Amino acid sequence: MLRRALGLLPRPIAAARARSFSTDLPAAHTADATFMEAWKKVMPNMDPPKTPLSFMHPRPPTPSSIPPKLTVNFVLPYASELSTKEVDMVIVPATTGQMGVLPGHVATIAELKPGVLSVHEGSETTKYFVSSGFVFIHANSFADIIALEAVPLDWIDANLVQKGLADFTQKLSSATTELEKAEAQIGIDVHSALNSALTG
């Protein structure tokens, strides 16, 4: 009985391996024909509105060999810091620890914590302080970094960081409600990370 069950096991596993992943399928731009027809009837002299899909380009296929560079997009809600920039490596402050990303990195999604994001290109290193966000690493050596706030590390004033850390520490000691304590603790965490970034 056990031998018969073990004989059946490899078949589903082999079938699962042969199946393609959704990311392997080619991305194609599809327009909603019904919407376009209705739009032309209502607004014949005006172009249809653009949707987010209009601005998205399909990712290039996963290469058979590891490319020499990592392509990075680093965006904020109000600006694009890097757009399809080819670099050697980025180091991101993930919640699980510092994570180095090289070309050919396994596909990963990681949450960012307050800390230093460094972009390495040849002998040059550009460092940013990020507050939080996410990094999406794709199998085709593309990395998308989305941060809520980010500033180049050399823009930060160490004296203001020390003052902010002292202010939030004082607010935490005098806080009476849970909300005040939480807000003060967030301020302490961010200013401590800023301080570590500047002194580290």
Q: What is the pLDDT at residue 115?
A: 92
pLDDT tens, residue by residue, 72-127: 999 998 888 998 899 999 999 999 999 999 999 999 999 999 999 999 999 999 99
Cα end-to-end distance, the chain, whole Å:
62
At the topology level, CATH places domain 68-155 in ATP Synthase; domain 1 (2.60.15)
| Alpha carbon distances (Å) from 189 to 28, 133, 173 | 44, 15, 15
Place of tokens 């960081």: 161
Please provide the size of the chain in residues.
200
Q: Domain spans of the chain?
A: 68-155, 158-199
pLDDT of 69 strictly over 90: yes
